[in-house]
Amino acid sequence: MISTYIGTPVNRVDGVLKVKGKAKYTAENPASDLCYGVVVSSSIAKGKIKGIDTSKALALDGVLQVFSHENRTSLPWFDKSYKDDDQPPGSPFRPFYSNEIQFNMQPIALVIAESFELARHAASLITVEYKEDDFNADFQGSQNKAFEIKKGKSGWKPPKSRGNAEKALKKADVSVEAVYFHPAEHHNPLELHASTVVVEADESFTVYDKTQGVFNSQQYLMNVFGLSKEEVHVKAPFIGGAFGSGLRPQYQLFMAFMAAKALKRSVRVVLSRQQMFSFGHRPMTKQQVVLGASSNGKLLAIKHEAIAETSQFEDYTENVVNWSGMLYDCPDVELGYKLVKLDTYTPLDMRAPGGATGVYAFEAAIDELACKAGIDPLQFRLINYAEGEQNDKLPFSSKELKACYAKAAEKFGWARRNPVPGQVREGNNLVGVGMATGVWEVQQQPVMAKAKLSPDGKLVVSCGTADIGTGTYTIMSQIAAETLGLPIEDVTFILGDSDLPMAPLQGGSWTASSVGPAVLKVCEDLREQLLKEAKKLSHSEFSSAKPEQVIMKDGMLGLKEDPAVKISIPDLMKQRGLGILEHQTTSVPDPKQGQYGKYTHSAVFVEVKVDADLGNVAVSKVVVAVAAGRILNPKTARSQVLGGVVWGISMAMEEESVMDKQYGRFINHDLAEYHVAVNADVHGIDVIFVEEDDNIVNPIGVKGLGEIGIVGVPAAISNAIFNATGKRLRDLPFTLDKLIG
């Protein structure tokens, strides 16, 4: 097929709507007779509510109701009803279940009023009497309570050890042992979590929810409130960022729906920025890494253990240490993963969950081992390059990591690196360089898609997936337009609606590799039908044409070998008397994928400048090369990697949710005190895409880019800081107090 759109930098098809402010987000959707809800949060971490005084709030004209555990709707309050597609093992949090407080800032009441301002004022008048219990929010002080886990959330893989790492370490000529700490981090998307529940005339509900999976929110509401699919319609056409925070239904969805159902009024609930810190976060994690190598740089032993936090009511898990077992060729590997239960909310998947955490510690330790052995860190990685997946002993479906190393190193100028720390200066700045490897798993999920072709040649393709800003609208339009040879202006892709064909949550970097094949398949079905219809034309020149002999381009069906033979799609459909052609299909992974290790790889090179007196660190240059299979749209793909790199800078230098152990609450719960990278923190970033053909991962050969951009960046920054200063920083973020201390 001649490539017209796939692989070209097409502008976002939804870009104009967003720039003009015409793309409506969850809290912007209109509803008649709309009232507003404001959530009241607990001020203690553990205990019981002895009483809630709502009298002053209810006395205000325009306040409709205050919901709490005392008057909530009668519901099936058992765990099965509250399950969702991203739930860890355990008992999920159930808002208003009882008077028990399980974590600080737990939602304990919902004020409903005729205006948002009135609801917020009324919420401030509610007084609560508590009976406080002792609680534990001290992660570092609870390491002795860590326990091994046998069953984790969906996608979690128990770490696999092999050989005898302890014995192999004794033979090592050079070794490294270090402990790394990763603080809690919060997602903080620009759009606050919100739900708008519209009560329709037939008493069904249309729900606008900030979610990465409309089917997950729909199923949750159906289960909890005992409703059918016909009674609950969930929409999320536009999402202002999520990064994992929208994978699970958050408590405002339950509250808004409960209030709308009880009051028979449309209800909107928007969480405050402070309340965005009350659910889900990247978990605090402590990691110990021990490495041993021979004098010539061959890895002999790897030991990597992680201890992460979880809540008292669910066992949240991530694949933190698994990457260390598969990334390099090493015969003796010991991996361990444990959890510590705290009186906090359950952690939640956050961009590159587990990978961003585990690869940071491991790649920092690899750099330290290489430097200790006197071997260039890039050369050290090449010495230990794995030609096959090490954990499960599988061949890779494709792996162009060596090309990533070579291209990024050349662009960066790695050959000019001074291996002696602290020797390069620029004015008062110490200049250092570092590098690291990035890796992320490739997955394909079952997906359904539908396509409708009108007699005028206009195509509508639909799938209930999401677009959290990644460019899903655009790349799916590109696939459809190219497959049927249509101008992209004649293609409309619809998503974010539970009435559309089934799709999984948007996460894990699997949307392009899962939804893409479904869109391709359903458009190929239409293409096949058009050829069949062309063969039925009188005196048809297509009568003996095989599918591979046909070309579709510029809205025309033609023969490759005879450009003069062609017919427009509208003419074909008119001559055949066709109305709308419609197909629906399901795309599923090929079973042969299980015979391969499927990964996206990257090489990250970083330059930092450190003020010799003040310890301020500026990340002055980043070059990242990525091997991610087929690149559908270089423009949106580059944006995905850029966003990941910026977050990697933010993770390394600024982001930290600070837990006040006295109150069990994250105290820097706003964007004034929770620091993220801004324009002044981000300088030159070069993104290189390395060609990689892969016919195993899916029919399109695409691997996904959402996560790979962040993985490896914090480690590369850590390694660059060492090269600049001679100091190894092991506790994220790398603030100046740690550098000068």
Active-site residue list: 707
State both tokens at 691: 């060609």
Measured CA to CA, the distance from residue 431 to residue 18 in angstroms comes to 40
Q: Which residues contact 503 (CB under 8 A, 6 or more apart)?
A: 213, 215, 445, 447, 448, 463, 464, 465, 466, 495, 514, 515, 518
Measured CA to CA, the distance from residue 1 to residue 550 in angstroms comes to 9
Beta carbons within 10 angstroms of residue 240's beta carbon: 17
Q: Which residues contact 234 (CB under 8 A, 6 or more apart)?
A: 207, 208, 209, 211, 214, 215, 217, 218, 221, 497, 498
Contact 315, 370 (CB under 8 A): no
Residue 371 backbone phi and psi in degrees, to 5: -65, -40
Beta carbons within 10 angstroms of residue 21's beta carbon: 8
Q: Give the closest residue to 245 by CA, choosing from 222, 278, 267.
A: 278
Q: Give the closest residue to 328 by CA, choosing from 356, 296, 293.
A: 293
634-653 and 713-725 helices, crossing angle to 10°:
50
Residue 368 backbone phi and psi in degrees, to 5: -65, -40
In the chain, the amino acid numbered 40 is V
Q: Which residues contact 416 (CB under 8 A, 6 or more apart)?
A: none
Contact 329, 385 (CB under 8 A): yes
User: Which ranges constitute the DSSP H helices of 62-194?
Assistant: 116-124, 165-169
> In whole angstroms, what separates CA 358 from the centre of its chain?
16
Q: Give the closest residue to 600 by CA, choosing from 508, 686, 518, 504.
A: 508
Instruction: Determine the 3-state secondary structure of 226 from DSSP.
Output: coil
Beta carbons within 10 angstroms of residue 740's beta carbon: 14
Q: If you ran DSSP here, which 8-state letter would residue 578 be given?
A: -
Residue 329 backbone phi and psi in degrees, to 5: -80, 110
Residue 431: its H or E element: strand 429-441
Beta carbons within 10 angstroms of residue 191's beta carbon: 20
Measured CA to CA, the distance from residue 513 to residue 444 in angstroms comes to 6
Q: Which residues contact 102 (CB under 8 A, 6 or more apart)?
A: 46, 93, 311, 312, 313, 343, 345
Cis amide linkage into residue 733, ω under 30° from 0? yes
